[in-house]
Structure 1
Amino acid sequence: MAAHIETGALVITMAGRWSVGQAYSLQRAFERCAAHQPPYVAVDFTRVVPEGGMPALLPSLVVLGQSCRRGITVLVCAPASALTGLLRRLPTTRIRFYPRLTEALSRIRPYHLRGPSRRVHRRFTPSPAAVGTARRMVRDCCERWRLDGVTDNAQLVVSELMANAVEHAGTEIDLTICHHRHHLRIAVADRHHGAPALDHKSSDGGDRDPRQELSLRGRGLALVARSATNWGVLGGTDGKVVWAALAAPRAARLRLSDLALISGSGYPA
């Protein structure tokens, strides 16, 4: 699984001879993608060699159909084949077909926000002011979604991730905040390939002084690790996404007043 930074899509690449085992690998990959709540998932089948006939393809129908019901738009990248023929019969408009991955990614709307949705997105220039704006976005999201118990940790996490991107990446930055089930997820994407790392060991094998670690890293990834239930890095051909998930209570049902998504126009650059 890889990230396409410019559009917010996650990409699953399948290769080799197709089999039922490959279909279940695809299912597990989709489950990991769904946890990130992306606007699109692109599945690249262009390097797959069909094997086993039609029965081996049937589990793919189930996997992609279930993913569409979650609100994810699926981009199937494959030449005309029995697979695309079967997929076109699915009763959904959330599957799109393209001959190549590059064409699929060029045709979609970057960071599309489906509504109503507990998800917001904003693109920033790499300026110090972006950190304060990101904190206000997180605070506003927690207020709208009634997640008061996680506000402080969420603001700390977004501050560290945004400041790290501003200082070390120096590229455009995409911030995405979403609430899904029991987690608030914060994702910061930039166009720099250098991945941050959290290493508690010094070069001689001993324990590193946490104060030294924070000083060297500059943006306190140790604080992110302590504040979030999970965090990680998704690589991609055009950059990376650093994400963190924080435990959050299940929010109450959306009210009409909650359906207005937070737009970039409400926040100064």
Structure 2
Amino acid sequence: MEGEPPYFFDRGENEFPGLTVTRDCDTAVLEVTVHGRWSRRMGLDVYNLLRRCLAEHPPAIVVDLSGLNDPDAASANMWLAAARAAASLRPPAQLVAGIPPARQLAGRLRSLGAVHQLPLFATAWQARAAVATRLPQTERLHLSPLPPERSSVAAAGDLVVAACDAWGLPAIAAPGRMVMAELAANAVDHARTDLAVTVLRRGAGLYLSVRDGDPRLPRLVQPDEPVRRRPAGRDRGLWTVHRRASAWGARPARGGKVVWAVMRPHRSAPR
């Protein structure tokens, strides 16, 4: 529907063959690993996957191209376009790539001036290390572990308010607290495992995430779909997140999943 925020439920490795995404839960940095021969099909999958990654507005994306078979360097323009898209975010996200320097693709990227838009490193490990040194250390709040109890829902919401007070973001405090509380409440009610909640500053906005130990991804129930009665105070379910976040989604994580939301001031008003 027009005006609705994008939401993405990443189903894991089977959704995009040859592509995997991992997320550092401490820094929200995403790493995309590419395996196999480049083709038009893979190009479409890369486009869709990177679109999802950018909607999450991470501080950085590391692309591991060491397993990509692209002898004709046909994917070069895709990676440059992705780097420009990441740089256009406000605040910008950094896209860096790990690729052996002798590869044809590496040479093609260098000849196109990629070093000014897409930093290249010989390995993904070097790319991760370079990104880590550039991440701000004062714009992140984290609570872990939190028990699967209602008190943890309140603690997660309070963390958002504390972040907004510290970073001067009063317009996001109330809707951000509501969204974080809904994410945490869903984890408490359905995952019933310990939680880890994180708040990151993204310019004038916030990135919120809740990690739990249940690999099952949530599902956005349509308004006309019959549902069982929800616990008191949560009758709107994930629609609270959907209506107030600029973007949101869920992705598998090692030992469970991460559900995230991006809050920006222009989405803060109730509808």
TM over 0.5: same fold? yes
Distance 1:218 1:173, change over 3 A: farther
Greater Cα offset, 57-66 or 130-139 = 57-66
Which ranges in structure 1 are unaligned for 5 or more consecutive residues? 251-269
- The TM-score, its normalising length taken from structure 2, stands at 0.64
Residue 57 of structure 2: which of 19, 37, 54 is its match? 37
Provide the residue aligned with 1:63 in structure 2.
81
2:21 corresponds to 1:2: yes
- Change in 2 beyond 3 A, CA 1:238/1:92: farther
1:89-148 C-alpha deviation (Å, 9 max, x unpaired): 7247954332xx7x679x65998872388x424141123454344323211332344433
2:153–2:184 contact (8 Å) kept in structure 1: yes
The one of 31, 38, 45 aligned to 1:11: 31
Q: 2:262 aligns with which of 245, 248, 262?
A: 245
Q: In structure 1, how many angstroms separate the alpha carbons of the residues matched to 2:146 and 2:63?
A: 31
**Aligned residue for 1:207?**
226
Q: Is the 8 A contact 2:160 2:199 kept in 1?
A: no
Whole-Å separation in 2 of the counterparts to 1:238 and 1:97: 30
Q: Residue 125 of structure 1: SS of its match in structure 2?
A: strand
* Alignment correspondent of 1:262: none
Q: How far apart are residue 173 of structure 1 and its match?
A: 1.2
Relative distance call for 1:218 and 1:195 in structure 2 (3 A) is farther
Change in Cα spacing, 1:12 to 1:93, as seen in structure 2 (3 Å) is closer
| Cα distance in 1 for residues equivalent to 2:23 and 2:237 | 26
SS in 1 for 2:218: coil
Contact 1:44-1:78 at 8 Å conserved across structures: no
Write out per-residue CA displacement over residues 181-205 of structure 1, whole angstroms, 9 at most, x where no aligned residue: 6x5432222343122223348xxx9
Contact in 1 for aligned 2:61/2:93 (Cα 8 Å)? no
Helix, strand or coil: the match of 1:164?
helix
1:90 paired residue among 99, 115, 136: 115
Q: Which amino acid aligns with 1:66?
A: R
> What amino acid sits opposite 2:226 in the alignment?
D
- Contact 1:186-1:244 within 8 A present in 2 as well: yes
Contact 1:147 1:249 in 2 (8 A): no
Q: CA deviation digits over 1:204-253, x for unaligned, max 9?
A: x96336xx0346x8994343334435432122444322122334149xxx
Q: TM-score, structure 1 length as denominator?
A: 0.64
Opposite residue 221 of structure 2, the aligned amino acid is D
- Taking the aligned partners of 2:100 and 2:214, their CA distance within structure 1 comes to 29
User: 216, 241, 254: which is aligned to 1:224?
Assistant: 241
Match of 2:142?
A: 122
**2:202 corresponds to 1:179:** yes
What percentage of aligned pairs have identical amino acids? 24
RMSD: 4.2
Give, in whole Å, the separation in 1 of the partners of 2:195 and 2:132.
Answer: 14
Does the CA contact (< 8 Å) of 2:209 and 2:258 recur in 1? yes
* SS in structure 2 at match of 1:159: helix
What is the rounded CA distance, in whole Å, between the counterparts of 2:169 and 2:56 in structure 1?
19
Cα gap change, 1:2 to 1:65, in 2 (>3 Å): closer
Asked if residue 170 in structure 1 is aligned to residue 193 in structure 2, the reply is yes
Distance in 2, matches of 1:48 and 1:30, equals 16
The 1:112–1:192 alpha-carbon spacing in structure 2 relative to 1, beyond 3 Å, is farther
Q: Does 1:138 align with 2:160?
A: yes
After superposition, the Cα gap between the structure-2 partners of 1:73 and 1:227, relative to the gap in structure 1 and judged at 3 Å, is closer
